[in-house]
């Protein structure tokens, strides 16, 4: 039996400093199982973990300021 070696991407450190819309498009292209949620730094969010969500933490100019990751 052949093992599958395919893994979905779950972390995008290369997107820190990118515009939010560009980063969201890249994430959704590289992992079709997730939805991207854009969140301004300082806004309250739920603390639940979801393997189908990536939060993009952005500043006032909508630039990604934290490493996007599944959760």
Per-residue confidence band for 8, with pLDDT thresholds at 50, 70 and 90: confident
Per-residue confidence band for 6, with pLDDT thresholds at 50, 70 and 90: low
C-alpha 41/C-alpha 50 separation (Å) is 19
Would you say residue 4 has pLDDT above 60? no
DSSP-assigned letter for residue 66: S
Model confidence over 10-64: pLDDT tens digits? 999 999 999 999 999 999 999 999 999 999 999 999 999 999 999 999 999 999 9
The CATH number fitting domain 13-58, selected from 2.60.40.420, 3.90.1300.10, 3.30.10.10, 3.40.800.10: 3.30.10.10
Residue scoring higher pLDDT (55 or 5): 55
């Amino acid at each position: 039996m052949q093992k599958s070696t395919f893994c979905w991407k779950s972390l995008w450190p290369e997107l820190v400093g990118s515009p939010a819309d560009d980063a969201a498009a890249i994430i959704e292209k590289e992992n079709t199982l997730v939805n991207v949620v854009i969140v301004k730094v300082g806004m309250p969010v739920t603390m639940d973990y979801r393997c189908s969500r990536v939060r993009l933490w952005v500043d006032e100019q909508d630039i990604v300021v934290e490493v996007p990751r599944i959760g």
